[in-house]
Amino acid sequence: MKHLLSLNHLTTEEIFKILKLAEQLKSDNYRGVTHHILKGKTLGMIFSKSSTRTRVSFEVGMYQLGGSALFLSSNDIQLGRGESIYDTAHVLSRYLNGIMIRTYAQKDVDDLAEFGSIPIINGLTDREHPCQILADLQTIYEQKGKLEGLKLAYIGDGNNIAHSLLHGCSKVGMDIAIAAPKGYECDEEIVEQAKEAAKKTGGKVLITEDPVEAIKGADAVYTDTWVSMGQESEKAERLKIFMPYQINKELWKYTNDGAIFLHCLPAYRGYEVTEDIIDGSMSVIFDEAENRLHAQKAVMAILMGNL
């Protein structure tokens, strides 16, 4: 494992290695035990989109591991004025020990990894959000004591979160059901890759337009905003189309007893989810947000600390 560009590149064993280390780092953190595995190392964090969780958890994570993090807004570095990814990758590789990048095109992240000589971590693209899903798997494991054999239902937009969930769940042997409206489905190539992975782990992949079919018997229910970053101009149309996909009491009736609710955040109450669900006893959204810190520390320790 040299980079974290897509969960599709990780083996089942590599995912469980990250989750195990994340669990250890979390419990050590609670007991005040520190590990300065990345002492003297610096992570560059390139952001072309907004962020609360990703920015803060990576920065705090680097600090806790004994290193430091540099916030690089693409508006302020020459990349935003047209300097090539090729030159940026070569130059930053001379200063930094790793780069986390949040941007639009997956290709830019892949190119950074190809041209640079340091580990690259995908902090969200239009196509994937691998760090988020590692934290989600950690959260589900904490709540349920296992992953294999559980069913996760994702109801909403077939976006970056849905794509990384497809990879993540299928690789750990979970069943995943995705309900998205016509025209907003997941990428077919990613669905096929998830089906292939599921064959090996015994998981199942269901793709449907029907939220009831997807949520039936779910142990974990997930949704995300209907308007991702960069889609602001489509907002009015999207809010109309996605309304039947709202997670509410009515839909929750079909879940398994003890089902949990997940959301990567930021959330928009009254749209993709009602208050009684996201603020109810089934919601684990803040554990999920916290686990971004622990899961990413594990990723950085492995990639930048050769753990």
- 151 backbone dihedrals φ, ψ, rounded to 5°: -110, 125
Angle among Cα 273, 277, 280 to the nearest 5 degrees reads 150
Is 103 a binding residue for ligand NVA by CB under 6 A? The answer is no
Query: How far is Cα 198 from Cα 172, in angstroms, rounded to an integer?
Result: 8
224 belongs to the catalytic site? yes
Is 51 a binding residue for ligand CP by CB under 6 A? The answer is yes
Query: How far is Cα 288 from Cα 307, in angstroms, rounded to an integer?
Result: 24
3 belongs to the catalytic site? no
Rank residues 64 and 225 by Cβ distance to ligand NVA and give the closer one: 225
102 belongs to the catalytic site? yes
264 belongs to the catalytic site? yes
Give the one entry of ligand CP, ligand NVA, none that residue 161 binds, where binding means its C-beta sits below a cut-off of 5 to 8 angstroms depending on kind. Answer: ligand NVA
The strand ranges marked E within 212-303 are 220-223, 260-263
Using CA atoms, how far residue 58 sits from 70, 96, 191, in Å, is 10, 15, 29
> Position 248: which residue type?
N
Is 77 a binding residue for ligand CP by CB under 6 A? The answer is no
53 belongs to the catalytic site? no
Is 229 a binding residue for ligand NVA by CB under 6 A? The answer is yes
Nearest-Å Rg of the Cα atoms of the chain is 19
Contacts of 63 (CB under 8 A, 6+ apart): 69
Q: And the tokens for 72?
A: 């690089």
Helices (H), ranges, 8-70: 12-30, 53-64
Catalytic residue (one of 102, 127, 167, 263): 102
User: Which residue number has the CB closest to ligand NVA?
Assistant: 228
Among 45, 194, 264, 303, binds ligand NVA (CB under 6 A): 264
Catalytic residue (one of 163, 263, 264, 296): 264
Q: Show the binding pattern over residues 121-160: x = contacts ligand NVA (CB under 6 A), - = does not.
A: ---x----------------------------------xx
Among 228, 246, 255, 283, binds ligand NVA (CB under 6 A): 228
Among 93, 225, 274, 283, binds ligand NVA (CB under 6 A): 225
Rank residues 114 and 185 by Cβ distance to ligand NVA and give the closer one: 185
CB 264 within 8 A of CB 224: yes
238 belongs to the catalytic site? no
User: Per-residue b/e over 133-155, b at no fewer than 16 CB within 10 Å?
Assistant: bbbbbbbbbbbeeebeebbbbbb
**Least distance between ligand CP and beta carbon 192 (Å):** 26
Give the one entry of ligand NVA, ligand CP, none that residue 52 binds, where binding means its C-beta sits below a cut-off of 5 to 8 angstroms depending on kind. Answer: ligand CP
Q: Report the DSSP beta bridge partners of residue 301.
A: none
**Least distance between ligand NVA and beta carbon 264 (Å):** 5
Among 265, 267, 268, 287, binds ligand CP (CB under 6 A): 265
Give the one entry of ligand CP, ligand NVA, none that residue 73 binds, where binding means its C-beta sits below a cut-off of 5 to 8 angstroms depending on kind. Answer: none
Is 101 a binding residue for ligand NVA by CB under 6 A? The answer is no
Any idea what DSSP says for residue 97? Answer: S
Is 161 a binding residue for ligand NVA by CB under 6 A? The answer is yes
Contacts of 209 (CB under 8 A, 6+ apart): 179, 180, 181, 182
Catalytic positions? 102, 129, 132, 224, 264, 292
Site for ligand CP, rule CB under 6 A: 51-54, 124, 132, 264-265
Site for ligand NVA, rule CB under 6 A: 124, 159-161, 224-225, 228-229, 264
